Structure 1
């Protein structure tokens, strides 16, 4: 682990000044991802900016529009069990409970989960080339062991995936990310926050230098999906494993027909994967397997497998159909009994 300075920020403005003064500075809160990366020498921050004492980043509150504002420091466990979340945005609660372990969820924060880095084997191994870790060095996963890697939105420079379950739920709910930085405050639609790798895979998101996440806002409109949703996560083992494929499915029903739909995939791309055409294809159609198959095919239209992960394409298609079937029936996947319903 490299030598670093430590700064305990007292306000958001104090944290921004510290981040702006040191381009290699990093925010630390729960530390469930950053500390591991520092031990591997993958992350070598010059300064750790501790934000855990900043009151403005804490708490869950109502917005004027009837949504919920979740502070960047709110632990994952707190979000998952908050009654306002479980009653009005249960898809998010289910997605969070599908991830990690209770101990990690107790420590991990909303902002940290949002900004966690890939679990690609090669990114975590400094002895192998990785464009995300060292731009221009190459991508060892292409032509290497790539079972867990991307089938959508990848590039010739990187086929890593984003590991978060929480973010897949937030993507389906069309959350907003509230940012503060040297130029003031701004709001980023969730779909625009994380980046596809392109030719700059080292950049995970659209944050600018000195900026930080202060809150995530769940919009009032997303409450329409509280009755028909499911978060389905498929993985190599049922406990404490990252997704091979995960699906956040949410439907608004009118009788036996679909009035609106939200779909997001995890474990398949550099960011949670949504496609408006797949969601639009469900509107006005009966909630049956034929309709769900059309949406799945559209969502996966550009999927490209590699030597060890081509199986993910069919796995994702079947997972989308199953998750939509669960959502339509109002029988969401249990995150306690993880056997697929």
Structure 2
């Protein structure tokens, strides 16, 4: 598939290339109806304007776009910091975009990155079918980190969230827990982990699992409502599996405030292995994802592509590690 050109947009909109150029540079000077036709043609063709000065820049922009849903309470901190540090040391600038959970915002940031002819786009957010099609047609290196889809847009660097959930279920069962309560954040990856826990718990013959959900990102403050809801259950859980270490810390605080001992009365498990997980009292059992390795793999792929080398691996599995501490 050839990359759409300005002339393709002009032909689709029924105007001259010069009119399209004027619209891109100063949309206010183009008649409203004409501008609407041009914008529709841009979307239909998948055309991405070249915002690099004069369009004469080399094919290597020395710019990488990193698109993440959020920074606050982010489990991606270690990965992003490692990538930014390494890329900066290699004389590559990083364009950081916060997508949130709004597809329109994601679309805007993707187009902004492509229009600047970035060397690569690194993303952790969810992509619509339209976004995937746009990125595939761009011929830009696209790295989906923390994800492990069967059919990546380009290359995925992550791990199986379903397998991780299964390991959590086996850990809980082996440790003798019988009434787990799973608090899932409202995101696709968290739901995959939840599915792994639920399916493996059933295979192990476990019963009595209860569930709840919280918005993303799963903040410390959500623990108060989650704990209150859990206390109203017909049978009290003996272990709570949280979607993040931040939520796990909040649950521990709420449990202790209610006079419960952790883990004797209620065990708590987190996710992400944040630095706080090992500093809490009790220390928090969590799942460690090697963010630094994800960063190294991503940078290796980008550098190989810039050298014109083939990268045959479409899915790079970095695995995960369950770390048992005092809380469970």
TM-score, structure 1 as length reference = 0.27
Higher relative helix content: 2
Larger Rg: 2
TM-score, structure 2 as length reference = 0.27
Q: Which has the higher contact order (CA 8 A, sep 6+)?
A: 1
